[in-house]
Amino acid sequence: MGENGSPKQDSESRISLPMMTAAEPLRPVYVEWADRLERLLRLSAYPLAVKMCEKDEEIPELARRPLRDWGYRLNACQAMSISRRYGEMIAMKAEDNWCFEPPFCFGMTGGNTGAYEEGLEFFLEGHTRYPEGAKDLETARKWANDFPRFEDYGQYVAVVTAPLMKAAFEPDLVLLWLNPTQLNQVLQGITCEWGRVGITSTIAAHGGCVHYIVPPMKTGDFNISNPCLGDVALAMKEPGDLVVSIPISKLQTLLRGMEQIERNGFGMPVKYEVRPEGWLPDSYVKMRELMKM
């Protein structure tokens, strides 16, 4: 064994190239939904299905376990990147994580509640942010106590990720890494179906993977987050992308709204033009008349 109990690495024990999981989707409609998302948004990676598992029995048999199957740990953002780029289905328990934030904020105790509670006390005192990222310990404490997490620790044992079209489980969320133009298509679909001006956003410097999952799981609603430095530097996030979290219960309705927007001529690819006094929808022309513009 290497340092910190990690298995030693040699040329024969390193990870083989990730590959598309052989699993069949739990529901055939996941393939249809994934195809519609990819067509509507011109995605460069697979829509990512995410499930928080409460029992070991909920972990799909074909899911890869990084420490068990590849001999080392990963950050959660790296597992997500492998899933959405290569198609691997990956299950991350506490022992599979290299970064502490995901298993900690997901409440994964690894079966050792006492050790988790000791870590919780250390975290809430602000020690993971001070002195590197906060001016003083009191500021760090405020950050730690505001940071999203599942307070009912011990509820979840693993997080599983896979391409939506290969999800051999019932996802809680679908995550999409989108540039602003793609994100606007999602927002238009939300407006079309729910009449909402906007949705909740958790823009934060740290713990992108936590923001992708915890707030939308708590609210059951859409959420927009920005990737943290880890997702950028260690998981090769595309430049300029934000992450939208979509509860699986809302996905079919969202797709319907996005397709209506597309039929009305506002889909992708965007038709660019810079023309003075250019075309406006009839309703906009009416508003100009009402406002005596």
Q: Could you state, in chain order, the average pLDDT of each consecutive group of 10 residues for the chain (293 residues)?
A: 47 61 94 98 97 98 96 96 96 97 97 97 97 96 97 97 98 97 97 96 94 97 94 86 97 98 93 84 94 95
Tokens of 84: 């959405």
Which pLDDT score is estimated for 152? Answer: 93
Tokens of 210: 């936590």
Phi, psi of 2 (to 5 degrees): -85, -165
Phi, psi of 289 (to 5 degrees): -65, -45
Which pLDDT score is estimated for 7? Answer: 47
Residue pair 251/33 in contact (Cβ under 8 Å)? The answer is yes
Cite the DSSP H helix spans in the chain: 29-41, 76-86, 101-105, 113-124, 137-146, 180-194, 208-219, 229-233, 248-261, 282-290
Which pLDDT score is estimated for 11? Answer: 44
Which DSSP symbol is given to 126?
T
Which pLDDT score is estimated for 275? Answer: 83
Tokens of 135: 């001016």
Which pLDDT score is estimated for 15? Answer: 52
Work out whether the CA dihedral 158, 163, 164, 167 comes out positive or negative: negative
Residue pair 70/15 in contact (Cβ under 8 Å)? The answer is yes
Which pLDDT score is estimated for 2? Answer: 47
Q: Tell me, what amino acid is at 234?
A: L
Query: What is d(CA 80, CA 23) in angstroms, rounded to the nearest whole number?
Result: 17
Q: Tell me, what amino acid is at 184?
A: N
Residue pair 238/247 in contact (Cβ under 8 Å)? The answer is no
Phi, psi of 205 (to 5 degrees): -80, -25
Tokens of 82: 């492998």
